[in-house]
């Protein structure tokens, strides 16, 4: 019958059938399971298949490199500097011992002391703990994406064809599918929360709001082909508390909100984000701030305190680092969230970079470019650990409490626990850090001088 139709009609009919089939598949295998919070296991089967392909590609690259006598991977810069855990005074004494005939505890300045500060400066440049936390995590094997290993060259026709096939699958099949799902999830979120917001406050509104949020976020998770493993779900945040997590990407919100119901905290935006914010706040008590209000720490603390004091309100979701880190470490937590006095529910998030790099380098990529990278990656695979709730001890200040929570998240997620402020991503080192080293050196000299005077 199709052969008897004009060419234009034939194309239109085929396109209509294709769209109908695609929508049916989306509805049956993605949207309906997202509504009921179930999974057919298709994504995990997809992940296992990818792992086998990556393993084969890696073995083929290693064999080809061995045949050509080429190094396979870029050598790591980490660990090239051997560091001993010594104090400033001990290190300077060691330098004086090896290069000076004067007494080791001489109170005056020695020229050889300069070498200590020069060495520290060079070590920091070579192995900068801060800067390397804002670049993509290095991979030891090729994942058939643009991020290949350092010395990858043409190995075989099969490997090249496999890479080309991967490009076609990611850009011609996965990308349109994911855009359609993301559009569906965001549209349903705006429409659903706007409708629920018209209802009077009560249990019915809260029930509908919770399930609308969960349904839409689960659809958005599937738009990223996110494969998430949740651990210790009995520790999930409860009403009247604060959920704090390490921060790698804007999608951290979707990852957590697809398994729990949270009140968000953030600055009011314009554009599409503003439309979403105005819609969701009608159905859920999110805490949004104007640009001028965000800088007022006391106002922010007051609004958050009022929220958590009402035990019927949802737990607040906060990322205390204040910026995205590349998921290899946890950097300094801002103390504001820990001054409120509420129960804190720590959450550790760890992404697997094999399938796609979830880190958002906001100084390098805009939001649209970042989302395009996410939607053209193979998948987003991560593990989420809900840690036992923590409260501030009587002898703890807010900074100590924040550091204790941060250390617990770092241990559970297998991340490096750093004391540096993530704000150094865009700012210079504070004078206080420089002055601290100056004070230590001054104290060493003046302290020795006082000891000598007493003797």
Contacts of residue 174, Cβ cutoff 8 Å, sequence gap at least 6: 225, 375, 376
Mean pLDDT across 247-258: 91
Among candidate residues 76, 42, 59, 116, the one with its CA nearest the CA of residue 379: 42
Task: Name the pLDDT band for 94 (thresholds 50, 70, 90).
Answer: low
- Residue 390: inside a domain, yes or no? yes
Same domain, yes or no: 198 and 101: no
Which range marks the domain in which residue 115 is found? Answer: 88-137+433-454
Regarding whether 304 and 233 lie in a shared domain, the answer is yes
Band of pLDDT at residue 454, cut at 50, 70 and 90: very low
Assess whether 330 and 439 both reside in one domain. Answer: no
Q: With contact defined as beta carbons under 8 Å apart, do 242 and 405 qualify?
A: no
Backbone angles phi, psi at 227, to 5 degrees: -115, 105
Same-domain status, 114 and 245: no
Residues 305 and 214 in one domain: yes
Sign of the CA dihedral running 102, 106, 108, 111? positive
Same domain, 341 and 413: yes
Confidence (pLDDT) at 254: 92
Q: How far apart are CA 360 and CA 427, in angstroms?
A: 18
Partners of 432 in the β-ladder? none
Which of 360 and 437 is assigned the larger pLDDT?
360
Helix and strand counts by DSSP (H, E) for the chain: 15, 9
Do 389 and 335 share a domain, yes or no? yes
Total Cβ atoms within 10 A of residue 332? 19
Q: Which residue has the higher pLDDT, 407 or 133?
A: 407
* Res 81: pLDDT: 43
- Between CA 383 and CA 307 the distance in angstroms is 29
Question: What does the alpha-carbon distance between residue 143 and residue 111 come to, in Å, rounded to a whole number?
Answer: 52
Report how far apart, in Å, the C-alpha atoms of 247 and of each of 78, 263, 320 are: 23, 17, 8
More confident residue, 322 or 132: 322
Determine which helix (DSSP H) or strand (DSSP E) holds 231, and give its type and residue range. strand 226-231
Q: What is the mean pLDDT of residues 409-433?
A: 75
Q: Looking at the structure, do residues 105 and 181 belong to the same domain, yes or no?
A: no
pLDDT score of 208 more than 50: yes
Confirm whether 286 is domain-assigned: yes
Q: How far apart are CA 174 and CA 223, in angstroms?
A: 9
44-73 tens-digit pLDDT: 888 888 888 888 877 777 776 666 665 555
Place of tokens 């052969």: 3
Is 66 inside any structural domain? no
* Rounded CA separation 388/232 (Å): 9
422-441 per-position pLDDT tens digit: 665 556 666 666 666 667 66
**Quick one: 237 and 95 in the same domain?**
no
Residues 314 and 271 in one domain: yes
**pLDDT recorded at residue 158:** 78
Label the pairing between strands 287-289 and 226-231.
unpaired
Give 80's pLDDT tier (boundaries 50, 70, 90): very low
The reported pLDDT for the residue numbered 87 is 60
pLDDT of residue 133: 64
Burial class (CB in 10 A: 0-12, 13-18, 19+), 220: buried
pLDDT at 377 over 50: yes
- As given in the structure block, the two tokens for residue 364 are 């390098």
Cα maximum dimension of the chain: 112
Residues 118 and 173 in one domain: no
Domain count, the chain: 2
For residue 132, tell me if it sits in a domain: yes
Beta carbons of 375 and 178 less than 8 angstroms apart: yes
**What token pair was written down for 427?**
């700012």
Domain membership of residue 64 (yes or no) is no
Asked if residue 126 has pLDDT above 60, the reply is no
This prediction has a pTM of: 0.76
Domain assignment present for 142: no
198, 280: one domain = yes
The chain-wide mean pLDDT, for the chain, equals 77
Is 131 inside any structural domain?
A: yes
Query: Kind of pairing, strands 287-289 and 316-318?
Result: unpaired
pLDDT tens, position by position, 330-340: 988 988 888 88
Q: Which tens digits make up the pLDDT trace of 173-194?
A: 889 888 988 888 899 999 999 9
Mean pLDDT of 94-113: 58
pLDDT at 317: 92
- Segment 435-449 shows an average pLDDT of 65
Answer yes or no: is 186 within a domain. Answer: yes
């Amino acid at each position: 019958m199709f052969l008897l139709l004009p060419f234009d009609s034939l194309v239109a009919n085929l396109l209509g059938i294709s769209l109908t089939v695609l929508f049916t598949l989306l509805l049956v295998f993605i949207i309906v399971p997202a509504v009921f919070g179930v999974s057919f296991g298709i994504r995990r089967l997809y992940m296992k298949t990818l792992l086998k392909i990556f393993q084969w590609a890696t073995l083929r690259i290693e064999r080809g490199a061995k045949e050509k006598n080429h190094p396979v991977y870029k050598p790591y810069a980490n660990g090239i500097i051997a560091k001993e855990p010594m104090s400033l005074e001990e290190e300077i004494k060691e330098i004086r011992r090896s290069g000076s005939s004067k007494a080791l505890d001489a109170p005056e300045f020695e020229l050889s002391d300069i070498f200590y500060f020069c060495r520290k400066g060079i070590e920091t440049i070579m192995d900068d703990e801060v800067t390397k936390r804002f670049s993509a995590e290095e991979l030891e094997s090729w994942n058939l994406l643009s991020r290949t290993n350092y010395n990858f060259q043409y190995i075989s026709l099969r490997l090249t064809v496999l890479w080309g096939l991967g490009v076609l699958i990611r850009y011609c099949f996965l990308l349109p599918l994911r855009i359609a799902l993301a559009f569906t999830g965001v549209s349903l979120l705006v429409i659903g929360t706007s409708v629920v917001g018209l209802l009077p406050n009560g249990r019915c509104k809260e029930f509908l709001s919770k399930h609308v949020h969960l349904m839409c976020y689960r659809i958005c998770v599937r738009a990223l082909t996110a494969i998430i493993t949740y651990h210790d779900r009995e520790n999930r945040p409860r009403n009247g508390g604060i959920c704090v997590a390490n921060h790698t990407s804007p999608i951290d919100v979707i990852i957590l909100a697809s398994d729990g119901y949270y009140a968000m905290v953030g600055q009011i935006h314009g554009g599409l984000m503003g439309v979403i914010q105005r819609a969701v706040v009608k159905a859920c008590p999110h805490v949004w701030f104007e640009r001028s209000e965000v800088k007022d720490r006391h106002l922010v603390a007051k609004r958050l305190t009022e929220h958590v004091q009402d035990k019927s309100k949802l737990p607040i979701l906060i990322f205390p680092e204040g910026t995205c880190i590349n998921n290899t470490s946890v950097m300094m937590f801002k103390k504001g969230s820990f001054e409120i006095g509420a129960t804190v529910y720590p959450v550790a998030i760890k992404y697997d970079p094999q399938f796609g790099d979830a880190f958002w380098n906001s100084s390098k990529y805009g939001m649209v470019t970042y989302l395009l990278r996410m939607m053209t990656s193979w998948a987003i695979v991560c593990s989420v650990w809900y840690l036992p709730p923590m409260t501030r001890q009587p002898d703890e200040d807010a900074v100590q409490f924040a550091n204790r929570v941060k250390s617990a998240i770092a241990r559970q997620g297998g991340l490096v626990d750093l004391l540096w402020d993530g704000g150094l991503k865009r700012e210079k080192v504070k004078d206080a850090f420089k002055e601290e080293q100056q004070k230590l050196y001054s104290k060493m000299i003046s302290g020795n001088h006082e000891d000598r005077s007493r003797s």
